[in-house]
Amino acid sequence: MGTPLGDILEDYDRLIPITILGVTYQVPENNILLRLLQYLRFDIMYGRFCWNGDCKNCALRFRKSTGQEGSALGCQLVVQPGLNVLQLPTGINPPNGNSSSED
């Protein structure tokens, strides 16, 4: 399946729903959250993020579809259907400037 960012995404067969700060998006399965924020054209301060698990600047809070809450690194977290991102890292904002949160 092709996308405008097709060459930076991992292979995928379908889109899956995830929620970020109360807004639900359809995103390619089998990809890490940080890459999907790029796919969704979130405003990312690229210099803050190493993309390889070293800096920890991409830490975020989430809730799984099972209700389990936790924290993870956005550059390591492969999204699952129903993932709910409760808080974004500093330096990442929604594309329309909406910074609302359900918390």
Contact predicate 43/94, CB 8 Å: yes
Binding window for ligand FES (CB under 6 A); candidates: 3-11, 20-28, 39-47, 73-81:
73-81
Q: Does 73 bind ligand FES (CB under 6 A)?
A: yes
Q: CB count, 10 Å around CB of 77?
A: 21
Name the pairing type of β-strands 15-20 and 84-87: parallel
Question: What is the smallest separation between the CB atom of 1 and ligand FES, expressed in angstroms?
Answer: 26
Q: Does 8 bind ligand FES (CB under 6 A)?
A: no
Q: Does 45 bind ligand FES (CB under 6 A)?
A: no
Q: CB count, 10 Å around CB of 59?
A: 15
Question: Given the rule CB under 6 A, which residues bind ligand FES?
Answer: 49-51, 53-58, 73-75
